[in-house]
Amino acid sequence: MTVSACNHFTILTDDLPATLAFYEEHLNLKAGARPPFTFPGAWLYADGGKGPDPILHIIAGIGKERLVKGVIDHMAFSGKGLAAAVAKLRKHGVAYELRRLPAYETWQLFFFDPNGAKVEIDFDPAEAAPA
C-alpha cells in the first residue's frame, strides 16, 4: 500500500464558535457537510467552502485539560496573499513567526489557533515581503 496525499487534520477544541471564526478569518476555511456524528464538531473546507473535500476536522466539547500538544508538531497549508495574511494576524493580535525556507526561499508563516494548534502557511517565494 502507498499513500498519494494528505486527507485531513483533526483538532480538538473547547470553543467551537471561536475555532470556526479563527479558521474562517485566517485561512478562509468554512464549515460544510459533516456526517451526523454523536459528538459536536465541524468539517472545514478550503476555498471559502467551495473545496471538494474537507481538509480540517474539528471535534468540539473537549475539556481544556485535553488540549495538549502531541507528537504532531503542526499542520501546513499552501496559501496566497502573504502581506494580507500578516496584516490580518497583526490586526487580530495573533503572534506569528515569518521566515524563508533555506535554499527554496518559500515564505513560511507560523502561528497558533485558539486551542494551541500550530498552523503553518507556505507562500510562493515570489510574493513580496510584508511591510
Query: Which residue ranges form the domains of the chain, and what is each CATH number?
Result: 1-64 (3.10.180.10), 74-131 (3.10.180.10)
Instruction: Tell me what pLDDT residue 70 has.
Output: 81
Cell 500538544, located at residue: 69
Instruction: Tell me what pLDDT residue 30 has.
Output: 95
Which residues touch 43 (CB under 8 Å, ≥6 apart)?
8, 31, 32, 33, 34, 54, 56, 57, 58
d(CA 44, CA 25): 12
C-alpha cell at 20: 470556526
Residue-level pLDDT, tens digit, the chain, 131 residues: 887 888 999 999 999 999 999 999 999 999 999 999 999 999 999 988 888 989 999 999 998 888 888 888 899 999 999 999 999 999 999 999 999 999 999 999 999 999 999 999 999 999 999 98
Instruction: Tell me what pLDDT residue 129 has.
Output: 93
